[in-house]
Amino acid sequence: MVQLDSIARQVFHNCTISDARYAGYYSICGLALRLRDLYKWEKGLDPWVEDESSLVLEWIGKKEEEWESLVENNLTEITILGRSYDPFDTNGINEILEPEGLLYGAGYVYSLKPSFFLARLDEKRRINGFPVYYLGRELARDLLTVAALSQDDRILIRKESAKLFLWDKIFFIKRSGRGALRFALENYGLSMQDTEALHSAFAQISDAETESYVYHELGEIKDRDFDRDVWRDMIASFPHTPVELLVRSVKDILADTNEYGKLRYITREKKSASLAFFAAFLDGLRKELFPEITEAFKAFMHERDWRLIETAVDAGYERAKSYAENICRIYQAGKKNNDMQWVASEIEKQLLEPLGIGKAINATR
């Protein structure tokens, strides 16, 4: 039997070290949102519950003190049954933990921040040949509220984080997305004004929406339009830059629009609520790169014609594919000349500035 408390403490220790090192990479609003989610997780609160501000501020003060004490520390190995594992050795660690009904996650996210979690394994399925793990109670996590991810060609659905993720999207919805959000909730028989009914149905809604997350990850795994090696090299070469944000945004759109992806699944299954959530939450650079879906959804709300969505998804896919090709072309030319500064400059000039973004991009993460 593994010592669960010990493993959870070790994982959470690495989570805290990572948070301490990378907290400064977030905007003030971005950090506040992530601290808000971490607080709710630590206290076991429902997503919509807000504690007294004095309690939250006291907790944040203690968290910052803890970060200050750990910011210079290195990540530590994970010791299980007397054997030590590199914290990124997910295969080795999960070989021990999965038979115990647990799943460990580790990897690099935006700005190459190390991210870790440990969760109970509720269910395992196979979808289109890939194992999908549905995870329940999270025993350790960091600042990031990630609803789903792929790891070692496994698709991991973090149901607890997915609830926080969906609630945050609803709670902080921009004015431009409110019509689509209203449409989504109406498809679940709810209204935006009836918060009590929304709270009661929220777990069911979140669980229903997780299937669309599966197909985003599946689309990402199966994507062959954005060379995976180039994509990884660029993420490593340009962390915390507009280039990284563009590269990740293009990859996300390809994952949603290719034949295996989220929007193809939504269209095939005619999941109107999932489509509405997608339209409601699309923002930032992804919205700039994929304007067709916004216009198509406005028409869809009145006409309920799925052909409108199919046409928009086709257009979004072709544009994202073109961006991926151009990014790879510029990257290969710069790599040949060993000039990554030129790569960043050309991508900004050729691909970002025409969108009205360029060097002034403000990536609120």
Residue 113's nearest CA partner among 157, 143, 84, 93 is: 143
Q: Would you place residue 360 in the very low, low, confident or very high pLDDT band (cuts 50, 70, 90)?
A: very low
Above 50 in pLDDT, residue 344?
Answer: yes
pLDDT at 365: 46
Instruction: For residue range 118-140, list pLDDT tens digits in order.
Output: 999 999 999 999 999 999 999 99
- CA of residue 81 relative to chain centroid, distance: 32
Percent of the chain with pLDDT over 90: 96
Tell me the domain boundaries of the chain: 4-165, 173-360
Q: Is the pLDDT of residue 364 over 90?
A: no
| 297-320: average pLDDT | 98
- What is the rounded average pLDDT for all residues in the chain? 95
In angstroms, the CA 127 to CA 117 distance is 23
Cα 19 to Cα 162, 278, 365, distances in angstroms: 20, 29, 14
Average pLDDT of the segment spanning 213-233: 96
* Residues 92-115 pLDDT 10s: 999 999 999 999 999 999 999 999
Phi, psi for 80 (deg, rounded to 5)? -135, 125
Residue 361: which pLDDT band, with cuts at 50, 70 and 90? very low
Please give the pLDDT value at position 2: 83
Rg value, the chain, Cα: 21
pLDDT of residue 79: 98
Give the percent of the chain with pLDDT over 70.
Answer: 98
What's the confidence (pLDDT) of residue 358?
A: 56
